[in-house]
Amino acid sequence: MTSAALHFLKGHGTENDFVIVPDPDGLLDLSPAAVARLCDRRAGIGADGVLRVVRSAAHPEAREMAGEAEWFMDYRNSDGSVAEMCGNGVRVFARYLQLAGHAEAGDLAIATRAGVRRAHLAKDGDVTVAMGRARLVDGAVTVAVAAEGERPARSWPARHVDMGNPHAVAFVAELADAGSLLAAPVCSPAAAYPTGVNVEFVVDRGPRHVAMRVHERGSGETRSCGTGACAVMVATARRDGVDPAATGRPETYTVDVPGGRLLITENPDGTVEMTGPAVILAEGDTAAGWL
């Protein structure tokens, strides 16, 4: 990591917040320790993760996608670990590209480790992202939260949904049932999630309307998770007997997260779209040598 000052921006999507690091030519070596320091909420800038902005042609993991998408979202969790995708991050990434003059309102392709994602920057400020197809993985999965105080540990059956990253979706009576979520919920069998898992706890709010809390692997409980909201929508729709492939029309659910509201639509071809806000709120430079 260079000893020079690091230029950054700060943004969020439904309060899932990110440090954005422009690095168009792929010259920065952001170590896991540097990412964790940037995301530290007491001794750093503070965020759920880092969005490094690199031209696809300049990054070895994205060169094959350069013909489809000029820009690659190198996403890191707040602990420094690498992640395949982040749905809220894609919206914020698209908003940054617009702010920086790299994109205009309309359609935009973004390369990620989960493949190319297509975003639409609407004039009203919301961003819609084509999130790809959800994959419902067969097999029984259980989610358990550790005991707090005198309360015994509780467990629920969960639905394994893959959105390019893994999710375990559990339906609960009250969101408070999940406890503090300071520690990662325990998912079994462990073999179902060899690289870890994002866990969503879901309650009903009304017809085609749910609310969720999420524990993201590598970040802990966050205010929102875009891929998690998509996984929740698909799992809830199947629980409700709703399948766009059968109805032949798009089906939309409202998903409330602690940081706001997302609209998730599943199309008859199985593709999922997410619509929500994306805000860039600050820009600055770290002190020279801080990292």
Active site residue 225: yes
Residue 226, annotated as binding a ligand: yes
Q: How far apart are CA 242 and CA 251, in angstroms?
A: 8
Give the DSSP H/E element, type plus range, for residue 146: none
Q: Which two tokens stand for residue 1?
A: 């990591």
Q: How far apart are CA 267 and CA 265, in angstroms?
A: 6
Q: How far apart are CA 174 and CA 139, in angstroms?
A: 25
Residue 112, annotated as binding a ligand: no
Q: How far apart are CA 30 and CA 278, in angstroms?
A: 24
Residue 87, annotated as binding a ligand: yes
Residue 165, annotated as binding a ligand: yes
Q: Strand, coil or helix: what is 93?
A: helix
Q: Strand, coil or helix: what is 79?
A: coil
CA distances from 180 to 94, 186, 220, 221, 227 (A): 32, 14, 10, 8, 21
Residue 227, annotated as binding a ligand: yes
Give the DSSP H/E element, type plus range, for residue 112: strand 106-112
Contacts of 158 by beta carbon, 8 Å cutoff, 6+ apart: 141, 142, 143, 168, 169, 170, 187, 199
Q: How far apart are CA 177 and CA 179, in angstroms?
A: 5
Residue 267, annotated as binding a ligand: no
Active site residue 230: no
Which residue in 39, 187, 225, 230 is the catalytic one?
A: 225
Which residue in 39, 86, 187, 230 is the catalytic one?
A: 86
Q: Strand, coil or helix: what is 157?
A: strand
Residue 239, annotated as binding a ligand: no
For residue 223, list its beta bridge partners. Answer: none
Q: How far apart are CA 192 and CA 103, in angstroms?
A: 39
The annotation places the binding site for substrate at 16, 77, 87-88, 165, 198, 216-217, 226-227
Residues flagged as binding site: 16, 77, 87-88, 165, 198, 216-217, 226-227
Q: What are the catalytic residues?
A: 86, 225
